């Protein structure tokens, strides 16, 4: 839609002339194959002659795609992959090679943790106030992918900066929210059965499940969380839950799940 609007006005202004935008759709198959993704990236550059690359969702595939784009000195606008290191370990370390990389959306994994923590705090506060639980128990259920590693690390592991303080041996999440972390479970991003993980979380006495999902496992979770009647609130990141079809896909079992999406202040939300 944006390309149509821009082209209807003559295109993008380059110097003293306007150039129309041509969009090239590329099926990278990156969720399933890093090799396919890198090959698709090279075809887009060498066959379709693209000038800019926009996208990249699965970090494990994006690394190779980025390297191919850098080989050809093509500007890459990251739209999907959240892993912090995609930018922090490239542009600052070798600017001449990686200066073509820009992050557009989403915010990186580190900031996703901080934003998610605000949602988590809201739910934890409700558990304290309405259930009378002074120190709620929180379980992390995060898909086993690179982008989620930083979030799990900050949620579960002792935070280095706390060494020598009263919070030593506590994770950032424990210190900030005053909760007890009962563990982290890391299923596949394409898992179709989470019975063992959800049963273990229930047995651990968790009051809240902190979700970190980008793949189809998010639908599996929403459905089985309700089917198994897990007595723990669900809050965090679940990309599948941002889709309009999520309710139907989970057969309505996702009711009361809390997730996040990104909005820009001052930008109107329209039907399209």
- The answer to whether residues 79 and 128 belong to one domain is no
Together in a domain, 156 and 242: yes
Question: Are residues 115 and 85 part of one domain?
Answer: no
191 shares a domain with 99? no
Residue 206 contacts residue 138 (beta carbons within 8 Å):
yes
Rounded to 10 deg, the angle between the 146-156 and 109-131 helix axes is 50
Q: Does residue 163 share a domain with residue 176?
A: yes
**Does residue 206 share a domain with residue 137?**
yes
Structure tokens at 84: 């912090």
Which helix or strand (DSSP H or E) is residue 113 part of? helix 109-131
Residues 134 and 23 in one domain: no
The answer to whether 48 and 24 are in contact (CB under 8 A) is yes
Residue in 184, 106, 117, 186 with CA at minimum distance from that of residue 146: 186
147 and 82 in one domain?
no
Answer yes or no: are the C-beta atoms of 188 and 162 closer than 8 Å: no
* Residue where a domain stops, chosen among 84, 105, 126: 105
For residues 142 and 226, membership in a common domain is answered with yes
- What ranges make up the beta strands (E) of the chain? 12-14, 17-19, 52-55, 75-79, 101-105, 137-142, 180-185, 208-213, 233-238
Does 11 fall in a domain? yes
59 in helix, strand or coil? helix
User: Could you tell me if residue 257 is inside a domain?
Assistant: no
Per-residue pLDDT at 272: 61
**Which residue range forms the structural domain that includes residue 178?**
110-249
Verify that 15 and 86 share a domain, yes or no.
Answer: yes
CA 151 to chain centre: 10
Total count of domains within the chain: 2
Q: Which of 105, 132, 157 finishes a domain?
A: 105
Which domain CATH number covers 207? 3.40.50.2300
Q: Is residue 150 part of a domain?
A: yes
H/E stretch holding 48 reads: none
Q: Is 99 in the same domain as 158?
A: no
Instruction: Tell me, yes or no, whether 229 lies in a domain.
Output: yes
Q: How do the pLDDT tens digits run along the chain, 272 residues long?
A: 889 999 999 999 999 999 999 999 999 999 889 999 999 999 999 999 999 999 999 999 999 999 999 999 999 999 999 999 999 999 999 999 999 999 998 999 999 999 999 999 999 999 999 999 999 999 999 999 999 999 999 999 999 999 999 999 999 999 999 999 999 999 999 999 999 999 999 999 999 999 999 999 999 999 999 999 999 999 999 999 999 899 999 999 999 998 877 667 787 777 76
């Amino acid at each position: 839609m944006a390309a149509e609007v821009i082209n209807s006005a003559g295109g993008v202004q380059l110097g003293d002339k306007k150039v129309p935008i041509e969009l090239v759709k590329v099926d990278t198959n990156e969720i399933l194959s890093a090799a396919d993704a890198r090959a698709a990236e090279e075809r887009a550059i060498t066959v379709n002659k693209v000038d800019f690359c926009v996208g990249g969702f699965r970090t494990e595939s994006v690394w190779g795609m980025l390297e191919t784009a850098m080989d050809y000195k093509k500007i890459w606008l990251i739209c999907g992959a959240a892993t912090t290191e995609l930018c922090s370990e490239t542009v600052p370390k070798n600017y001449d090679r990686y200066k073509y990389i820009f992050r557009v959306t989403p915010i990186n994994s580190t900031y996703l943790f901080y934003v998610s923590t605000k949602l988590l705090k809201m739910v934890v506060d409700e558990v304290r106030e309405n259930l009378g639980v002074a120190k709620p128990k929180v379980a992390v259920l995060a898909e086993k992918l690179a982008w989620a590693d930083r979030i799990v690390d900050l949620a579960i592991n002792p935070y280095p900066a706390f060494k020598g303080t009263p919070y030593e041996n506590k994770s950032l999440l424990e210190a900030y929210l005053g909760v007890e972390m009962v563990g982290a479970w890391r299923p596949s991003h394409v898992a179709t059965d989470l019975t063992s993980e959800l049963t273990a979380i229930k047995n651990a006495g968790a009051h809240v499940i902190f979700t970190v999902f980008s793949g189809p496992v998010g639908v599996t979770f929403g459905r089985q969380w309700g089917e198994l009647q897990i007595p723990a609130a669900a809050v965090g990141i679940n990309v599948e839950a941002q889709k309009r079809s999520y309710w139907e896909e989970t057969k309505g079992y996702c009711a009361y799940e809390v997730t996040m999406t990104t909005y820009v202040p001052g930008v109107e939300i329209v039907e399209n």
